[in-house]
Amino acid sequence: MQRRASATTEQYHHRCDDVAFNAEEAHNIVKECVDGVLTGEDYNHNINQWTTNIVEQSLTHLVKLGKAYKNTVTCAVVQNSAYGFHTASPGFWDTTPDGT
């Protein structure tokens, strides 16, 4: 059991010389995940599976890049309507090493 956990851990901890955050690459990965989950779907108030799939797929693909940074993904799905949507979410990070 110990050996298996160690092998799994090694899959996600690659040494990488290129540690710069590429916001465009991350954006494209997340957009592909969102499109893959929502394309062709009609809005349904029970969106838990959509948000779960979007977050899990996005994180999986970002981790597979093997970059030496932490990934955080949040997801909100709302119906496209004339009533609008307002949200606020604070985020704090060090802009020198971190990106968004």
Average pLDDT over residues 65-92: 81
pLDDT in tens, 40-65: 998 887 888 999 999 999 999 999 99
The position carrying tokens 């971190």 is: 98
Residues 6+ apart with CB under 8 A from 21: 67, 69, 98, 99
Q: What is the DSSP letter of 43?
A: P
- What number is the average pLDDT over the span 18-27? 83
pLDDT at residue 1, as a whole number: 45
For residue 96, what pLDDT is reported? 79
Interior CA angle at 71 toward 44 and 7, to 5°? 110
Pick the residue with more confidence: 18 or 66?
66
Are 87 and 77 a contacting pair, CB within 8 Å?
A: no
- Please provide residue 51's backbone torsions phi and psi, each rounded to the nearest 5 degrees: -65, -40
